[in-house]
Amino acid sequence: MSWVVLVVSGVLEAVWATALGKSEGFTRLWPSVVFLVALAASMGGLAWALREIPTGTAYAVWVGIGAALTVGYAMVTGEEAFSVIRLLLILGLVGCVVGLKLVGDH
């Protein structure tokens, strides 16, 4: 269950990172509200997952999921340029996150 919570928390990291950018320095209400709610839920989930998953592994997975989804969303929406190299690098990041899960806590 900790891994499911960690993955959901990583997704919420992408939500709060994207909302932070759209808040324009907290001058827009709804993106600021989304940022605060997603941040609290993401951090809470990360903290909960850390009860069973080692800190280094959990943090790397959380950041990797958040970073990959944030940049992927930005490329899909046209906020950032798409390139095959960027896509391959994101897939490499995802592969590293999956690898951390596969090697386990041994």
What is the chain's alpha carbon radius of gyration, rounded to the nearest angstrom?
Answer: 15
Q: What is the pLDDT along the chain (106 residues), one digit of tens a residue?
A: 999 999 999 999 999 999 999 999 999 999 999 999 999 999 999 999 999 999 999 999 999 999 999 999 999 999 999 999 999 999 999 999 889 888 876 5
Full-model pTM? 0.91
41 token code pair? 């839920």
Instruction: Locate the domains of the chain by residue range.
Output: 2-103
The identity of residue 76, as a single letter, is: V
Three-state SS annotation for the chain: CHHHHHHHHHHHHHHHHHHHHHCCCCCCHHHHHHHHHHHHHHHHHHHHHCCCCCHHHHHHHHHHHHHHHHHHHHHHCCCCCCCHHHHHHHHHHHHHHHHHHHHCCC
pLDDT confidence of residue 106: 58
